[in-house]
Amino acid sequence: MDFSFTKEQLMFKKEIIRFAKKEIVPRVQEHDLKKQFDFEAFKKLGEFGILGLHFPEEFGGSGADVITTVLAGEALGEAGVDGGLTLAYGAHTFLCADTIFSHGTDAQRKKYIPKLASGEWIGCMGLTEPNAGSDVASMTTSADKKGDKYVLNGSKIFITNGPIADVSVVYAKTAPEKKHAGISAFIVEKGTPGFSSGPNLIKMGVSTSQTSELFFNNCEIPAENLLGNEGEGFNMSLQTVEWDRSALLAPFVGAATYMMNRCVDYAKNREQFGRKIGQFQAMKQKIANIRIFGEAARNLVYRIAWCKDQGRPMNHLEAAVAKLFVGDWSLAPSNDAVVLFGGYGYCHEYDMERIFRDSRLAPIGGGTSDIQKMIISKLM
C-alpha cells in the first residue's frame, strides 16, 4: 500500500486552491444568497482546465488520471468553493460529458467534448423522474423510433444544470417491457423543439446550482443522437457511479479541511470568558471531529479513484461504503462547525451555515444513504 500523491499532483492541487481562492471564492457568498449560478466562475473553471481535466488533449482536456481529477475536486472544496458550483461541475463533466466521451461515436465526441471541456457549453444529465428516483427501472419517459428520428415524451426532475444546459444526456425507454434493459441514452440539445426546462427549483443547499424539471413533448431528435446502442442506457448510468463516488464526493472531503481551517482561525481569535475559545476543550473536540471525518472520508474516496485508474471493474460494495460514509457521517462535523461559530455560524455572513446546508445533499444526491445500505446488505 502507498497513500502518497506525486509531487506533481500535490503542486497541481496547490495551484487549484490558489486559483479558486483568488478567482471564485470571493464570489461565492453573493451568488449563494441570490441563488444564482456563477457563469463567470464556471467559465474560469473551464479556462483553468478543470472541466475537462481527464479528457485527452485532442478533445480539449489534459489527459489527467482519475486521482488527479479527484484531487481537483478536493482542492475546490478545500479552497472554499461552494457545493453548488462543484455540483454543477460534477454534473457537467462526469454525468454528461464523460458519458458522451465514454459511449459516444467519434463524431459525437468531436462535436461535444471540446465545447464541454472548455465550458463554452454546459451539460446536464436527465435520469430521475417524479416517480422514478432510486427505482430507475420504473422511468416512463419514452423514446420511440420513427424513421431516422427518436421521439421523446415524458419529464425529468431534480436535474442539476437543467435550466442552463446546452447539452443534455437523457435516459428514456426504447423498450418499456424490458425494464432496465429497455433504457437507452440520448443527446438532446437546448432549443430542440418539444424540449423545455422548468424554473429553477429553490433548494435547501447547493443553491448556486440550477436545478429543474426537463419536459419532452413529442421532442424529435436525430437517430444519430443515440449514445451507444439501444438498451445500454442503464449500464451507462451505472458507470457514472464511479465518478459519483470519487470525483463528486471529493469536494465534501475538501470542504471538511476548509471547515477545519475556518474553525481554527475563528477559535484562535474569538474570546469569551477572557480566553480564546480555542482554549476550551469543547471547541478542540469539534475541531478534532471535523479533522477525523475528513481524514476518514479521504481514504474511501481515493480508493475508488485509484481502482478506476487501475482499470478495475467497479466494486459496488466499496463504492456504496464510500457514498454512505460521506453522506451520513458528514452531517455531524458540519453541524459542529456551525455551533463552534455560534450566532455567527447561523448567519450567512459566515459561510458555515452555507456549508451546513450544502452538506445535506450528501446523503440524498446520487443515491440516498438508504439505497447504499440496500446495496451493501445485498452484496455482503
Partner 1 sequence: MNYDFTDKEFTLFIDIHTLISQWAKENNLENSDAELSEHQIRQALSQLSKTIYLTLAMEKSGKSDKYNGLLTLMGAMEVIGAISPSLLLSVETSTRIFGRILSTWGSDAQKADLLAPLIDGQLIGAVGLSEDAMNVENDVLMTTGTIDGEVATVSGQKQYVINAPMADWFAVAGTVDGKNALFLVQKDTPGLSIGKKIATMGYQGAAISKIMLSECKIPATQVIYPQKAEQLLGTLKLWENQVLIGASLGLMKAAFESARDYAKTHKTGGKPIIAYQKIGFKLSEMLTLFQTSQLFAYKAAWSADADPKDLESLTLCAKVFCTEAAEQVTAKAMRILGGAGFVSGNTVEQSFRCAEYGLFAGTSTEISRVKIGDNALGAMK
Q: How far apart, in Å, are the Cα atoms of 171 and each of 66, 102, 130, 289, 311?
A: 25, 15, 14, 40, 26
* Strand (E) or helix (H) holding 157: strand 149-160
**Strands 167-173 and 211-222, sheet pairing:** unpaired
Region of 127-135, 174-182, 245-253, 277-285 interacting with partner 1 (CB under 8 A): 277-285
339 binds partner 1 (CB under 8 A): no
Q: Shortest distance, CB of residue 327 to partner 1, whole angstroms?
A: 10
3-state class of 215 per DSSP?
strand
Contact residue for partner 1 among 67, 181, 201, 332 (CB under 8 A): 67
Q: Which is nearer to partner 1, 154 or 366 (CB)?
A: 366
Contact residue for partner 1 among 13, 54, 303, 360 (CB under 8 A): 303
285 binds partner 1 (CB under 8 A): yes
318 binds partner 1 (CB under 8 A): yes
Contact residue for partner 1 among 88, 167, 249, 321 (CB under 8 A): 321
- Burial per residue of 308-330, b for 16 or more beta-carbon CB atoms within 10 angstroms, e otherwise: bbeeeebbbebbbbbbbbbbebb
Q: Distance (Å, rounded) from C-alpha 259 to C-alpha 255?
A: 6
- Structural contact between residues 168 and 188, judged by C-beta atoms closer than 8 angstroms: yes
Contact residue for partner 1 among 325, 341, 350, 356 (CB under 8 A): 325
Q: Distance (Å, rounded) from C-alpha 74 to C-alpha 351?
A: 18
371 binds partner 1 (CB under 8 A): no
Q: Shortest distance, CB of residue 77 to partner 1, whole angstroms?
A: 18
288 binds partner 1 (CB under 8 A): yes
Contact residue for partner 1 among 51, 64, 287, 319 (CB under 8 A): 287
Region of 206-214, 225-233, 313-321, 350-358 interacting with partner 1 (CB under 8 A): 313-321
Q: Shortest distance, CB of residue 298 to partner 1, whole angstroms?
A: 8
3-state class of 143 per DSSP?
strand
Q: What is the chain's Cα-based Rg?
A: 21
Say how many C-beta atoms besides its own lie within 10 A of residue 178's C-beta: 14
302 binds partner 1 (CB under 8 A): yes
Q: Distance (Å, rounded) from C-alpha 279 to C-alpha 273?
A: 11
Q: Shortest distance, CB of residue 338 to partner 1, whole angstroms?
A: 17
Contact residue for partner 1 among 111, 190, 276, 316 (CB under 8 A): 276
SS3 sequence of 254-322: HHHHHHHHHHHHHHHHCEECCEEHHHCHHHHHHHHHHHHHHHHHHHHHHHHHHHHHCCCCCCHHHHHHH
Report DSSP state, residue 362.
Answer: T
Q: Shortest distance, CB of residue 377 to partner 1, whole angstroms?
A: 3
Contact residue for partner 1 among 278, 333, 366, 367 (CB under 8 A): 278
**Strands 271-272 and 183-189, sheet pairing:** unpaired
Contact residue for partner 1 among 28, 221, 241, 307 (CB under 8 A): 307
135 binds partner 1 (CB under 8 A): no
364 binds partner 1 (CB under 8 A): no
Q: Shortest distance, CB of residue 14 to partner 1, whole angstroms?
A: 17
Contact residue for partner 1 among 1, 7, 191, 202 (CB under 8 A): 1
Q: 83-90 and 250-269 are packed helices; what angle lies between their axes, rounded to 10 degrees?
A: 170
Report DSSP state, residue 24.
Answer: T
Tell me the number of residues near partner 1 by CB under 8 A: 45
Residues lying near partner 1 in the complex (CB under 8 A) are found at: 1-5, 67, 260, 264, 267-268, 276, 278-279, 281, 283-289, 291-292, 295-296, 299-300, 302-303, 306-307, 317-318, 320-321, 324-325, 370, 372-374, 376-378, 380
